[in-house]
């Protein structure tokens, strides 16, 4: 199991915000190949915090 250093939690938050913005842009630009991956990654980041 992967353990996360608590000092890295703010960085995980930054990554999640960036991914959500990129996902929104992918939908707006109709980048279908990118949307699924961008939608799955924040879910993975959230699971790392648990």
Which pTM value belongs to this model? Answer: 0.68
Report residue 38 CA to chain centroid gap. Answer: 7
pLDDT tens, position by position, 1-50:
567 788 888 888 898 899 889 989 999 999 888 888 888 887 777 777 76
Question: What confidence score (pLDDT) does residue 39 get?
Answer: 80
* Cα dihedral across residues 6, 10, 11, 16: positive or negative: positive
Structural tokens at position 15: 């990554």
Whether residue 12 contacts residue 4, with contact meaning beta carbons closer than 8 Å, is answered with yes
Cβ count within 10 A of residue 22:
16
């Amino acid at each position: 199991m992967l353990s996360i250093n608590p000092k890295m939690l703010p960085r995980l938050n930054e990554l999640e915000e960036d991914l959500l913005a990129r996902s929104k842009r992918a939908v707006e630009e109709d980048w279908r190949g990118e949307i699924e991956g961008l939608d799955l990654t924040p879910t993975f980041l959230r699971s790392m915090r648990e």
